[in-house]
Structure 1
């Protein structure tokens, strides 16, 4: 019997007891045995929940560890790429060929830099939650057209392509 059938059986036994169809001694034994089986099943479910919650806690810790490790490798990759870029740029060539790789400077691009969103004109600010943000696309377009946007500037940017 499942828990719901056991609950139903307990209710039927209690009904019979109230109507006098069952002797008190039989009632007590029957109820006790049904409730013992039901309680054992409920305890098993509670144990299962506790095990699942323990696994969830372990997974949460593992996710945090892996996220931290991922961030470490992302930062390391960015820093190593910057190193390669400086190495190629300082060589005075557009590329450096080694036995295994060809390192060449990618095309020149520009990044929009806005150190403080509160110092740029209101026309270049959007207001999503939770705080205002610079509309870097609009700022970049206007700066490239020669317009002055106080509080913002373009920074030359090149990446190294590894072939």
Structure 2
């Protein structure tokens, strides 16, 4: 016998309910099909649980790696500043070692904002954040209002505990 999908099992159960069979045979067959379907759904739920664990782990690892990158960026900046100060302090224009060539140079100056509120208005820019009001859209669409550029989409799912 070929293995049936959960959808095929549902169809078979529906088909059996329309047949004129001995009631006990019908009950036993349907129970057997339901057991198989339920085992398949339990297997799918197990896969969902594994995905949830992997998602949680990946998000945690992403945060950890972002922190590692931030720490290393800061360390790199401090070390570069140290190297530059040592070479500048010695009055050297270029230093050649067995492993590296050091050439301190001027880069574009950095702008430091001491206090944003103290800046004259011509140095302030405003960023407008444009986004849809999904709460209002939902309420109006649910009330039957036709809104060009938006619609409601059914959102069905199953909670698994």
2:122 maps to 123
5 Å matches for 1:12-161? Answer: 12-16=15-19, 21-128=20-127
Partner of 2:98, secondary structure, is coil
Structure 1 pair 94/62, CA: closer, same or farther in 2 (3 Å)? same
TM-score for both structures, normalised by structure 1: 0.71
Distance in 1 (CA, whole Å) between partners of 2:60 and 2:125 is 36
In the alignment, is residue 2 of structure 1 matched against residue 1 of structure 2?
no
Partner of 1:7, secondary structure, is helix
**Greater strand percent: which structure?**
1
Distance in 1 (CA, whole Å) between partners of 2:49 and 2:107 is 57
Give, in angstroms, the shift of residue 98 of structure 1: 2.4
Q: Deviations over 1:18-71 (max 9, x none)?
A: xxx112111111110110111111110000110111111121222122111111
Distance in 1 (CA, whole Å) between partners of 2:111 and 2:92 is 26
- Structure 1 window deviating more from structure 2 (38-47 vs 118-127): it is 118-127
Greater relative contact order structure (CA < 8 Å, 6+ sep): 1
Distance in 2 (CA, whole Å) between partners of 1:110 and 1:69 is 27
Distance in 1 (CA, whole Å) between partners of 2:119 and 2:48 is 54
Q: Which 4+ stretches in 1 moved above 6 angstroms?
A: none
Give, in angstroms, the shift of residue 115 of structure 1: 1.5
> Unmatched 5+ residue regions in structure 2?
130-161
Distance in 2 (CA, whole Å) between partners of 1:107 and 1:73 is 23
> Unmatched 5+ residue regions in structure 1?
131-163
